[in-house]
Structure 1
Amino acid sequence: MLNKDILYLIFEELQDNEKILLRSCIFVNKTWCETSIPILWRDPWKCLKRDKEKSLINVLISQLSEDSRNILKKRKLLKKSYRHQKPLFNYISFCRHLNLEVIQRMIFNNYRSYKKSKISLIQKEIFNLLINENMKITHLYIPNKFDYQINLIPGIKRCFSEIEFLRCNTSINDKVMAGISLVNLKTLELDNDYYRILTGNYLENLSLHRLKILTASRVPINTLTNLIENTNGHLTEIIIEYVSHDNISNKKIIQVIYQNCPNLKYLKLLFRNSNIIELENLLINCKYLEGLFIIGSSADAFDWDKLFEILTKSSPISLFKFKIYSYIPPKLDSLKLFLDNWKNRFPMLLQVGRMKDTKDLVEKYKEVGIIKKYKNCLYGKDFEWI
C-alpha cells in the first residue's frame, strides 16, 4: 500500500490537468481523502464552474465563526432554520491562492437579488474569513477596479507576508496594496485598463529583487522600464504585449531589458525595424536566452534579411526556439537564408505567423536536422513550441 508521502507526490502531478481525477480520489479511502483535500483546496477558485459556486459558498459559510453566522442570520442572509454542521476539514487552512475576482463574482451571482448593503456584508465576512493572521496566501489575484480596502483587515501583513505571485491591474488603488509585502514576489502579471493613463506611482517605485517572471498587457513603456530597473537581475521570462511602441520607447525598453536582465531565458516583445541593432545587443548580453517571440510593428516592415542575419550571427548557443509574427511576413527567400545559416546549431523550433507555401522548404530543412518542429501559425502558449 502506498504511503502518504508517495500519494502526495502522485496527487501533486494531477492537480493542474487531472483535477476531476483528483476529486475522485477523495472517495477511495480515508488516507487518499486526507492526502488529496489539501491539494484541491490550495486553489479552490481555479476553473470554478457557475453551477458549483453555490456549493463553495456553503462551504465557506460553514467555516465562519458562530458570531459571523449570527450576523448573517440577523440580516436574513442565512435562514433561521440553518443548522451548522462542523466540516470534516478546516478547508480554508489549505488555501494558498486568493482570487478576489472569482470571490466577488461568486458572491454577486448568488446574492444578486439582495440589496447592495447585504452583498457588502457577506463579502466582508468572507474576506475576513480568508484574510487573517492564521492564513498564508502565496498567490493573489486582484480584479480590475477593485476598491475594497483589504489593507484594513486585521492580520493582513502576516497573511500576505509570503506572496510569490500577483496578478493585478495597473490602475489599482495604492491603498488596496498597503500592507501587502512583495519582497518575495517571483511572478507579476499586469494589465492596464485599456490604456488608461496612470496617475499613481505605486508600481513604478516597487523594488522587486526576487522577481523572475513579468507579464504585461497594455502597460505604458515608462512604467515597465522603471519596474524592470528595480529588479535585481533575476528576471528569466518577460512578456510585453498590446502596447504601442514608437521608435524611442521601443529602443528604451529593449535597452532596459538587456542592461538589467542577464539571466533572461524567454522574451516576447515588439521590435521596430529601426531598432534591429538593439536586438543584436540584446542577443549578445542575454547569454542564457532559450526562446524568443518577435512581434513586428504594423507601422513599418522588417528588413527580414538583416533581422535573420543578426539572429544567426549573434544568438547565444542556448537560443533555438523562435516565434515570429508580423503583419507583413518574411518571404521564402529570406526564410531560406535564415535556415541556411543555422547550420551546426541546435535544431530549431520555429513558428512563423501568416506565411504560406512553406511545406516543401520546411521538409527539406527537417531532413538535414536544421528544423526540428515547424508551424506556419502561432500555436500554444507564448513559450510553448509544440
Structure 2
Amino acid sequence: MSKLNKDILYLIFEEVHDKKTLFSCLLVNKTWCDMIIRNLWRDPWRFLKNRKDELLLLNIIISYLSVESKNYLKSQGINIFTKSCDKPLYNYITFCKHLNLNAIGMILVKTIKCEPKISIILNEIFNLFINGKTKFTHLYIPKNFDCQLNLIPGVENCLSEIEFLSCDTTINDKSLTGLMTICKSIKELELFMGLSDNNFGFARLIKQQKNLFKIRFLPSKVYPIYYPCDDQFYDLIENSLIKHADTIEYLKTPRHFNTKIISSFINLKILVMNNHYMNWKFLWDQNLSFPNLEILNVSRFPINILVNIIKHARNLIELSIEKIYTIIDNKKIIQAIYQNCPRLKYLKMLIYNINILEFKNILINCQDLNELYVVATEYLWEDLFKILAEFSPTNLYKFKFALMIVMLESLVKFFKLWQGRRPMILEFFTNSSDIKKVMKKYKSKGIVKEYNYEFNSKKDDFWISFR
C-alpha cells in the first residue's frame, strides 16, 4: 500500500507546475520531500524568475564542482565561489533531466564579463553534469556550442535517451556530428533558424530519428521579426520530414510548407504558423485539410485556405487567428466555426460590430467554449457584452479583450446581466480608477472570480493559472 501511495503521489506531483505549491509540500514528511526534490530538480531552469534565482542556482551547481575543478578555475583567474557550506542532503545534479546549457550560459554572461572565462566555466559545469550516471531527456544547446559530444567519456550513457533537443541551426559540423552520433531517439525538436550559415547536416539528424512527433521551427532570437528566409536550407529540412509523415502531430513554422509534404502529415493535431518572413509565398492547395487537427494558431493566412481547414477540422478545440481580415472574410470565418467546430474550447479572433449577430451563433453552437479572447477594432462593448451575457454557454467564463476601450457603464451592465452565472475571469487593459473599483466591487459580490487590468497581448499566463 505504501508503494502504491508513493506512485500515486508521484503522478500527482508530476502535474503540479507551481513552485509555491511544491515548496509548501516539502515539509509534510520525508517521503513527500524526496519526491518534491526530484520534481523541482528535474528541470530547475523553469523556476528562474529573477537574478536572485539565477545566482542561487549557479552557486548550488558550482558547489558540486570537484576540488580539482575548483583549483583549475582558480588557476585561470576565476574565483566565483561562495563561502563553504554544509554538504547538501541530496545530490541534486543526479535528479536533473533537463540539461539547459543555454540557461547556464546566459547566467554566466550576466555574472562574468570575460567571454574566454565564461567558456572555461561552462566546460567545467558541463563535465559536472556529464558524469556517466545522470540520464537526461532534454538537451538545450547554445548558438556558440563548440564541442564534439561523442568524444567525451560517459556522455553516451547520459545523452543517449534524449527525447527533446533545442538547438540553433548554425552550430558547426563538429558539434552537430556529436549530436547525430548520440541522439537518435528525439521525439521533440526545436530549431532556431538563422538568416544564413545554417548547417545542412540537420537534415540528416532529422532523418535518423525513430519517432519524431513534434517539431518547432523558430526565427533565431538575434534577428528581428520579418526578415528574408534561407529558402534552400528550409526546403531541405522540409523534405527530411517526409520520413516522419505518419508520426508528426505538432508543427510550428514561421513560413508555409510545401503542400505535398504538409498534406502527408495525416496525424497532425497542432499547427502553429505565424509568418515571420518577408519573402513568404503561399502555394498551398486551397483544398488542403487536416481532419485530426485539434489546435490551430495562424497569422497572415489566406482566407480561402483558412476557411477550408476550419471546415474540415471537426475535432478543433483551440483556434487562434491573429490576422485582421475584411468584414466579409471575418463573417466567413465565423460561419465556418459555428457550422463545423462543436468541440471548440478556446477562441481568439477579431470581431466586427456588423458581425455580432453572426458571432452569436458560435456561442449557441459551440457549447464547450471555455475561453474567449476578443480582438476589436471598433467600440463594440455594448452589443458584445449583451450577447455574451445572454448566449454564452455554461462552460464559458474566461474573457480577454484586446484593443478595446471598455466603458464603465457597459461593464456594470455586463456584470449585472452575468449575475447567477459562473464567476468570470476577466482580463483587459485600463487605467481608470473607477473601473478598478467596480471590478473589486463585483469580485466581492462573487460575480467576478479574478481580474487583471495589466493586459499583455502576447501572454495568456493569467488565464493559464486558472486551468
TM-score, normalised on structure 1? Answer: 0.78
Mapped pair 1:258 → 2:269: no
Question: What amino acid is the match of 2:363?
Answer: K
Corresponding residue for 2:331? 335
Partners of 1:70 and 1:273 in 2: CA distance: 57
Return the alpha-carbon distance in structure 1 between the equivalents of residues 13 and 201 of structure 2.
39
1:22-75 superposed Cα distances (whole Å, 9 cap, x missing partner)? 123333433322221111111112232311233222222222223223333444
Partner letter of residue 64 of structure 2?
Answer: Q
8 A contact 2:334–2:358 mirrored in 1:
no
- For the structure 1 residues 253 and 191, does the alpha-carbon distance in structure 2 shift closer, same or farther, using more than 3 Å as the test? same
Q: What residue number does 1:43 align with?
A: 43
User: 1:155 maps to which residue?
Assistant: 154
Return closer, same or farther for 1:94/1:363 CA change in 2, 3 Å cut-off: same
Note the 1:225-244 alignment, pairs <5 A: 225-231=238-244, 233-241=246-254, 243=255
Alignment of 1:67-86 (within 5 A): 67-75=68-76, 77-78=78-79, 83=84, 85-86=86-87
2-structure distance, mates of 1:104, 1:77 = 16
More relative contact order in 1 or in 2 (CA 8 Å, sep 6+)? Answer: 1
Task: Determine the structure 1 residue equivalent to 2:293.
Answer: 289
Give a deviation string over 1:228-273, Cα, whole Å, max 9, x none. Answer: 22325200011111x4xxxxxx4x62320112x1111111236989
Kept in 2, the 8 Å contact 1:183–1:210? The answer is no
The separation in 2 between residues aligned to 1:47 and 1:149, in whole angstroms, is 30
Three-state SS of the structure 2 residue aligned to 1:126 is helix
Write the letter of the residue equivalent to 1:209. Answer: K
Partner in structure 1 of residue 56 of structure 2:
55
Conserved 8 A contact 1:238-1:268: yes
Partner of 2:398: none
1:24-43 to structure 2, matched below 5 A, reads 24-43=24-43
Is the alpha carbon distance of 1:279 and 1:189 closer, same or farther for their aligned partners in structure 2, counting shifts above 3 Å?
Answer: farther
Q: 1:78 to 1:253 in 2, by over 3 A?
A: same
> 1:247 maps to which residue?
none
CA distance in 1 between partners of 2:346 and 2:83 (Å): 60
Aligned length: 356
SS in 2 for 1:322: strand
What's the CA shift for 1:216? 0.7
8 Å CA contact 2:97–2:135 kept in 1: the answer is yes
Counterpart AA for 1:50: R
Residues 203 and 279 of structure 1: is their aligned pair in 2 closer, same or farther, counting only changes over 3 Å?
Answer: farther
| 1:102 paired to 2:103 | yes
Q: Distance in 2 between matches of 1:291 and 1:163?
A: 26
User: Distance in 1 between the 2:235 and 2:64 partners?
Assistant: 45
Superposed CA offset, 1:144-189 (max 9, x none): 2333454543222221101111111111222113333332111111
Letter in 2 for 1:96: K
> 2: CA distance between counterparts of 1:119 and 1:307?
49
2: CA distance, partners of 1:312 / 1:32: 46
The answer as to whether partners of 1:234 and 1:263 remain within 8 angstroms in 2 is yes
Q: What residue identity is the alignment partner of 1:146?
A: F
Matched residue type, 1:258? S
Counterpart AA for 2:12? I
User: Where does residue 373 of structure 2 map in the other structure?
Assistant: 375
Q: Residue 86 and residue 318 in structure 1: after superposition, are their counterparts in 2 closer, same or farther (change >3 A)?
A: same
Question: C-alpha displacement at 1:293, in angstroms?
Answer: 3.0
Shift of 1:4: 3.3
User: Conserved in 1, the CA contact under 8 Å of 2:148 and 2:178?
Assistant: no
* RMSD of aligned residue pairs (Cα, Å): 3.5
* Residue pair 2:334, 2:359 contacting (<8 A) in 1 also: no
Q: Is the 8 A contact 2:141 2:168 kept in 1?
A: yes
Residues 279/100 of structure 1: CA separation in 2 closer, same or farther (3 Å cut): farther
Residue type at the aligned position of 2:69: S
Kept after mapping to 2: 8 A contact 1:151/1:177? no
Give the whole-Å Cα distance in 1 for the aligned partners of 2:368 and 2:272: 21
Residue 8 of structure 1 pairs with residue 10 of structure 2: yes
Comparing 133-142 with 48-57, greater Cα deviation is found at 48-57
Give the deviation of 1:109 after TM superposition: 2.6
Q: Secondary structure at the match of 1:36?
A: helix
How many angstroms apart in 2 are the aligned matches of 1:141 and 1:192? 15
> How far apart in 1 are the matches of 2:310 and 2:65?
61
Residues 1-30 of structure 1 show CA distances to partners (whole Å, capped at 9, x for unaligned) of: 98433432332222x2x1122123333433
Q: Structure 1: how far apart are the matches of 2:12 and 2:250? A: 28
* Matched AA of 1:104: G
Q: CA 1:270–1:45 in structure 2 vs 1: closer, same or farther (change >3 Å)?
A: closer
- Higher alpha-carbon deviation: 85-94 or 216-225: 216-225
Please, which runs of 5 or more residues in structure 1 have no aligned partner? 244-249
Percent of paired sites with the same residue: 33
Q: Give per-residue Cα distances to partners, 1:273-329, cap 9 Å, x unaligned.
A: 9746x242x31xx432223334335xxxx4x4x45763466x1542464333335x0
